[in-house]
Structure 1
Amino acid sequence: MSACPRDRTSPRPAHRRPPASSQTQGATLSPKKSPLTRKTSLYRLRTPEGIALDLHALVDERYRDRGDFTATPVDHAGVKGLLVTDSLARDSTEWSGVLSDLTGIDVRVASRTASGLLLVRTQRAVYAVTYGMGHHMIDPLRLDLGFGLQFALRSLDQHSISLVRRHFMDARGRTDENSATRGGELRDLGTEWIGSIVSKITGTAVDLPLTHVSDGRHTLRVSCTDSSITLPLGRTPQQFLGDLRVIEDTCDRPAPLPGLESLARVRSLRRRGRTTLVRGLDSQLDQRLGDPHASGLTLSPPSECAPHTADARAVRLMYGSRTIQVDDLDIDDVRRLVRDRSEEHRLRALKDMRIQLFADAECTDPLGAPVPGHRWITAEVRSGAAYHFYWQGSWYEVGAEFLQALRDDVTELLSRPSGVVLPHWPVGERTDEAWFNEQAAKQPGYDLFDRKTVRTGTFRGGGLEICDVLGPEGQLIMVKKADKGTSGLSHLFTQARAAVETLRYDSEVREKFLARVAELRPNQPPEEILATPTVVLAIRLKYGVPLTADSLFAFAQVALLQTAVALQGMGARVRIITIRA
């Protein structure tokens, strides 16, 4: 493709210098010094190995085919690549018609969106620097989806993390984001690394000789997504190329910085190519796409779409000549377009599909570029001793390293002393929890709270069971008989979170609970119980076997740690004990 740069010789309008004030007339004003850097978004692009690629191919074809698209080869002071610019004009905004209808006035408000994209080739990779809406001009299939977090885990100060967005690798496709104004530890932000993938992290980079910190007076704030880095880069060719080399060297470091290892415990299979393992996982996913009743498959917005999902009024699915428009996207909408394909071709069809969000029901105001359909799918597959997850178009493995880290954290949690003693629960005798709670409450210093719900208007005639037994130091003891899996423990974890959260935020529940404690223990200040509450999760596994990292399935361990982190985030201490047979 050939293109000519726009004419830059047209005269610019003259700017008049503002009149000098009485205090500055006659004085020489020093010109304002330009900053050395500018905040920039940087992407690394995937290119075929050993093939000389035309950089035009990295630009989304929607822009390459437009008449106002401008591409200019660059070879300037060591910077070699392609400069792409575009200015999208619209005669009238979509909402102009709405205002006309509401007011009876002919409203025609035009809009113009500017985009800039610089593709730069180095000896190690091809990078994209974007300005304005320039990130939409990159072919999304070319994004290196591990680049941003690879840099973040090797550059950020673990004590300065101010924002973390994570996606949970489960069938619900959950996403949440935690932030702190002044930054802090990962666990202070409530980040549950267990069973989740971090897609965005913001903090302060340390020990990087970048232009922005060369004067010794600035700190380097960096925001990284899975595919991009946003940070100040040098404005001159020499400074820019120097900064790029620092970023490349940082990404080549062999391991994450201390304190950030937990974010690297989920291993991507992307760099392994189409191995036998990946082909087998793809085949299982292909089968599920053709089965409307298959489980372990759901939708999760890719990171580039996640910020816009709340504003979307319509979603368009495009596959070949077929187009479906829906108000709310559902997994069945995706399956409908690919399930009639033959086996082993559904996933390929999903990769050819495009899904795009729009801010209006007429689909005239796009919220970003169309994204391949397979990047919207989240799937879970158990394969031998490892778990595999399909997320944002790639497979991830939760294998031996993850499970060892999981075991270490569970073992540490189980080793914390609880200050609670509970009776045995013999095998073959009474099996209901009510009986056991009564036996535990017969001990000196313990009180029965099982089935003594706190009732308020909040629960619409029902009530909340704060705990099963109150311990001698005010511990909130919650009892559950369960097997090795997560199904029997889910109620226990839900009860613990609901109790602590309600005591913290519902004053009526808190007052009624404390009044009950005061009746039972007139000599113990009840407020001390809730100053820093201690939650004791008392668990009896099948046959009364000891509670260890070996006696719980992996995702029971995941659920246990996630509950502990959530409770600690609400100011509670968490202790786990075994009820023995």
Structure 2
Amino acid sequence: MARRTSKHTLYRLVGVDPARLYDAVDLAQVDKIGGDINDAPNLTGLGIEALIAHGGMIREEAPWCEELRRTSGFEVSEPTWRSAGLLVLAVDGEVYAIGYDQGFRLIPDHLKDKDFGLTFALRAVDPDSVCGITSKVLGQGRTDITMIPGGMSVSMLDIKEYLRIVHKVAGAIADIDLTRTRFGKSQVTKADGGSGLLIQLGIEPHDLVADIREVARVCQEHRPHPDLEFVERVKPVRNKATMNTLDEALDDVLRDPTRGQVTAAVPIDHLDS
């Protein structure tokens, strides 16, 4: 029996007109691999605007061959093939993309909604079954990755609120109406949410579109679980327009203190003292 779902990373794209999906593809990268861009008839048949970009590159010899010859003294030479597939589709006014193999490289990074996967994970992951968190201490460059294959309560992970920026949350989800939970043997599946959302998605076109709509619904209608809500209280500002507005507001207060309040903050390194 053919599989109904497959694990992929789903991205939501910003700044792309649903009527101009070609703008979501890095055309230079497509040219580099000798690729093509075509319509996706199975999805357009459902009334969904969609296109695929695909291509590949053959190298006569894989990069590791020369190293292995030097180490082993044995003459070895094998070709290598790098393939890339990208599906871009517009669902209910939003543009999404799924990369196959190296296809994620065909998406311009600045178009990715950096909070999309995390937004879903905070609303769908069971806080008692968290199996991974990626975070960074404010003011420091070090990134900490915590992996718990069996899952654990987020309260036991010692993530100090307001001291860390959480970039990714992974864990078990349930009670979400996805193809995996409707037709799978298990009623529980896992999601890994950061910039993109790594999750089991339907393969048939109607299943895939339904899954994307369910993900969008959860992001729009659900609130983060109280045990994970702290993640959204402290997060980096990436939107340039918002950053400019904040900079202007700070400049206004510094010029005229009566227009607001400036409060001193203790450097993170000295917070305990």
Give me the TM-score of the superposition, normalised by structure 2. 0.84
Q: Name the structure 2 match of 1:180.
A: 148
User: Does the Cα contact within 8 Å between 2:24 and 2:107 map onto a contact in 1?
Assistant: yes
2:68 is aligned with 1:65 = no
Q: Offset at 1:270? A: 3.9
Separation in 1 of the partners of 2:5 and 2:35?
27
Could you list the per-position Cα deviations for residues 13-44 of structure 1 after superposition, in whole angstroms to 9, with x for gaps in the alignment? xxxxxxxxxxxxxxxxxxxx122211121000
The counterpart of 1:157, out of the listed 126, 149, 152, is: 126
SS in 1 for 2:120: helix
Separation in 1 of the partners of 2:238 and 2:71?
51
Compute the RMSD of aligned alpha carbons. 2.8
Q: Offset at 1:75? A: 3.7
2:128 is aligned with 1:194 = no
SS in 2 for 1:158: strand
Which runs of structure 2 are paired with 1:205-220 in the superposition (5 Å)?
205-215=173-183, 217-218=185-186, 219-220=188-189
Could you list the per-position Cα deviations for residues 247-266 of structure 1 after superposition, in whole angstroms to 9, with x for gaps in the alignment? 11111126312211111111
User: Does the Cα contact within 8 Å between 1:61 and 1:139 map onto a contact in 2?
Assistant: no
Q: Offset at 1:120? A: 0.7
Separation in 1 of the partners of 2:10 and 2:207?
15
Q: Offset at 1:273? A: 2.0
Q: Offset at 1:277? A: 3.5
Q: Offset at 1:386? A: 7.7
SS in 2 for 1:214: helix
Q: Offset at 1:235? A: 1.6
SS in 2 for 1:252: helix
Instruction: Give the structure, 1 or 2, with the largest relative contact order (CA under 8 Å, sep 6 or more).
Output: 2
Unpaired runs of at least 5, structure 2? 252-260
User: Does the Cα contact within 8 Å between 1:60 and 1:140 map onto a contact in 2?
Assistant: no
Q: Offset at 1:143? A: 0.7
Separation in 1 of the partners of 2:175 and 2:183?
14
Change (3 A) 1:215 1:101: closer
2:22 is aligned with 1:56 = yes
Q: Name the structure 1 match of 2:257.
A: none
Change (3 A) 1:188 1:96: same
Give me the TM-score of the superposition, normalised by structure 1. 0.41
SS in 1 for 2:225: coil
Give the letter aligned to residue 168 of structure 1. Answer: V
Q: Name the structure 2 match of 1:87.
A: 56
User: Does the Cα contact within 8 Å between 1:269 and 1:278 map onto a contact in 2?
Assistant: no
Separation in 1 of the partners of 2:74 and 2:152?
52
The counterpart of 1:132, out of the listed 92, 97, 101, is: 101
SS in 1 for 2:49: strand
User: Does the Cα contact within 8 Å between 2:123 and 2:224 map onto a contact in 1?
Assistant: yes
Change (3 A) 1:99 1:280: farther
Separation in 2 of the partners of 1:58 and 1:386?
42
Q: Offset at 1:279? A: 4.4
Alignment length (residue pairs) = 260
Q: Offset at 1:153? A: 0.9
Separation in 1 of the partners of 2:31 and 2:122?
38
User: Does the Cα contact within 8 Å between 1:116 and 1:133 map onto a contact in 2?
Assistant: yes
% identity of equivalent residues: 25
